[in-house]
Chain A
Amino acid sequence: MPSDLVSSPTVRSRPRFAAWSDPTVTLLAVLVVIAVIVFAALTPARFLSGDTVRAIAFQMPELGILSLAMMVPLMSGGLNLAIISTANLSALVMAGVLTNLIHPTSPPWVIVAAILAALLCGMLTCLVIGFLTGVIVAFFGVHPILVTLGTMTLVKGVAVLATSGTVIGGFPPAILFLGNGSVLGIPASMILFVLCAVVVAMMVAHTPFGVSVRLIGSNEKATRYSGVATEWVLVGVYVVSSLLCWVAALVMMARFNSASAGYAESYLLITILAAVLGGIDPFGGFGRVFGLFLSLVLLQVISTGFNLLGFSPYLTAAIWGATMIIAILIAVVRDRWIARIWPAKVK
């Protein structure tokens, strides 16, 4: 990874919004503006409309929350390949509780109690998965790719075994509201995503836990020798990642009005793409939630724009893959220019 696709921690007194001093954020913001201008020029009447913005706002949260779940382990120098299967199993558990407790004749208090019970069970499922993953990663020292490869297969296996591959559906309106409802014109799922993003951003930037996570991503041994209980921080990383999967599970089941062992599997590798495009260092240590947010906006603007132009969704996915390569390319070229013009600035 070229060194400046990655943000460097600012030492001087913190500006109001530190993200703007980040070259990745600037690059992404420029790319978003270019994409918007190009699409607005190509489809003048339709792209710059409320409908487009609303479409983007409805499509972003699902991938967004899952990308946050991928981002936290990435920042610790790890990876969580089990996010999709965790979200699916959690959604299935919640769906199972809801459909078993609620009948067409149930009084409102039963529905409320059932929803609370479902939320609790879904959260517990994710807690257990995250805790076990974290313990194996932290205390046995197994590479996170291997552990989560195992948990991914195991968790999906449990989901498939429990449902025999079928779909569970039919939820109360309160759950569906999370997927399709809006508050003051803003989709509820988008509010949920922004809430998660703000919480994760605060956690990463301003809490001892977040600082420890970034330190572990930079140099785990040095962090341990400076007195941080790195094992428990790593357990925390995978628990947080799994809890974000729980929120993603809620949004997914609300959007589809059903849960299954096989939903959203194509998102797994896309979340890594989105996170790395957003400036999260895949070796760990660096990254900003705001960068991730911009990369998600960029990906959604591209897909919505191509959709309006009548292109196939497959072509959009190809463009996403190309965007990643191009973003790395731009950063490499910019590195060389900076090195030529201003040699002192490069290590």
Chain B
Amino acid sequence: MLSQLRAAWRRHDVQIGSIVVIMAAFFSALSPAFLTLSNLGDLLENYSVMAIMAAGLLVVLISGGIDISFEAIAAVSQFFVAIILVKFGGNWFTAFGLAGLFGALLGIVNALLIYYLGAISVIVTISTMTFYFSILMFMTQGRSIYDLPSWFTSDMSWLSIPFPVMVAAVALLVTLVLLSRSPVGRQIYGLGGNPEAAKRMGCNILGLQCLAYGYSGFMAAIGGIVQAHRVEEVVPYALIGRELDVLAAVVLGGASLSGGIGTVSGTVLGILLLAVLQNGLTLLGVSSYAFGVVTGAVILVSVTATAYASKRQQRRGVRDAV
């Protein structure tokens, strides 16, 4: 029993999960407003867009790459769909379908460049991010779209679950199935863990990369649509500059930058950690100017502690072997 507990404690998602629970207990003890249904609903809704995009980024990270361009893809798809909806009308099906298709296409462009140029993903996606976003700013001249159709902006909730939260739940569920219940998901883990081994086992590397980056683009575009629904407008520069926040959340959830490691549950906990922290601090009356300091400190402490633990474990392993 004790050894089982100790083994469980070594798991990253258990550690992050306990921190989230402890923090939630702390905040609900200090502020009666924390543990109310409306506050928790707000909390989930505020972080639903981040969760959708994080699901896509997680798949790319597991495949051993990194995607910096997803916020730019989201901004471009958001704008593209908004123009079509305003001009020709449509429904939720066309909105999500068009955005997803466009986002996936832009993501696949990343994958093709990475595969055929043999360049590393961070450089390619920084280049395409710059390219996509500047083209968007050039075409729109920074102008926003406010006259979105009323069906698009009207509040939709089911059993008082906000619409963005439902979409986020579906996105995370689909990602979970893709990663841990499908053969392709295992291949993505394999590609990230050891690309050469994956190649020799006969995995279609180009196909897997197209899937990973296309999925990231797809989810980013869906997140962009949900974000437009929430704020009831499309501002070309609203999303850009937040890509590193999403990356921080996914990494807090235990995904490794060197590929092959990461789980959907960890990602959810990573986002919850940031969400509970910021929400709790707001309720305690801490100025929003202090968020950066707290978030930065949490990221630093978390990544340092994780690395320190794995270093100690390695050392213990060496000692046992000797």
Instruction: Give A contacts to B, CB under 8 Å.
Output: 1-2, 81, 136, 140-143, 145-147, 149-158, 160-161, 164-165, 265, 269-270, 272-273, 276, 282-283, 312, 314-318, 320-322, 324-325, 328-329, 332
Contact B241 A332 (CB under 8 A): no
A321 / chain B contacts, CB cutoff of 8 Å: 126-131, 134
Contact B123 A150 (CB under 8 A): no
Q: What's the least CB distance linking B131 to chain A, in Å?
A: 3
Most chain A CB within 10 A, of B122, B133, B134, is at B134
Q: What's the least CB distance linking B118 to chain A, in Å?
A: 6
Give per-residue flags for B284-299: 1 if the beta carbon is below 8 A from chain A beta carbons, else 0: 0001011111111101
B293 nearest CB neighbor, chain A only: A157
B228 on the interface (CB 8 Å rule)?
Answer: no
Contact B129 A149 (CB under 8 A): no
Contact A143 B257 (CB under 8 A): yes
Identify 18 residue pairs between A and B in the complex whose beta-carbon atoms are under 8 Å apart, listed by A's number.
A142-B304, A153-B299, A154-B292, A154-B299, A156-B292, A157-B290, A161-B287, A161-B292, A164-B289, A265-B241, A269-B68, A269-B129, A273-B126, A276-B123, A317-B134, A320-B134, A321-B130, A325-B117
B251 on the interface (CB 8 Å rule)?
Answer: yes
B306 / chain A contacts, CB cutoff of 8 Å: 142
A318 / chain B contacts, CB cutoff of 8 Å: 130-131, 134-135, 138
A143 nearest CB neighbor, chain B only: B257
B122, B127, B291: the one contacting A325 at CB < 8 Å is B127
Q: What's the least CB distance linking A38 to chain B, in Å?
A: 20
Count of A-B contacts with CB under 8 A?
148
B128 / chain A contacts, CB cutoff of 8 Å: 321, 325
B247 on the interface (CB 8 Å rule)?
Answer: yes
Give Cα A140 to B305, complex, Å.
Answer: 9
Give Cα A1 to B244, complex, Å.
Answer: 23
B127, B135, B247: the one contacting A149 at CB < 8 Å is B247
Give Cα A189 to B308, complex, Å.
Answer: 42
A320 / chain B contacts, CB cutoff of 8 Å: 130, 134
Give Cα A325 to B297, complex, Å.
Answer: 36
Contact A314 B134 (CB under 8 A): yes
B156 on the interface (CB 8 Å rule)?
Answer: no
B120 / chain A contacts, CB cutoff of 8 Å: 1, 282-283
Interface size on B, residues (CB 8 A): 47
Instruction: Give B contacts to A, CB under 8 Å.
Output: 68, 113, 116-120, 122-124, 126-131, 133-135, 137-138, 141, 241, 244, 247-248, 251, 257-258, 287, 289-297, 299-300, 303-304, 306-308, 311
A154 nearest CB neighbor, chain B only: B296
Give Cα A321 to B257, complex, Å.
Answer: 24
Q: What's the least CB distance linking A197 to chain B, in Å?
A: 22
Give Cα A143 to B248, complex, Å.
Answer: 13
B140 nearest CB neighbor, chain A only: A314
Q: What's the least CB distance linking A49 to chain B, in Å?
A: 27
Contact A141 B248 (CB under 8 A): no
Given the known inter-chain contacts A272-B123, A325-B117, please indicate yes or no for A146 contacting B135, CB distance below 8 A. Answer: no
Q: Which 8 pairs between the two chains have the least Cβ-Cβ distance?
A: A157-B292, A154-B296, A321-B131, A153-B296, A321-B130, A150-B300, A157-B293, A318-B134
Contact A154 B297 (CB under 8 A): yes
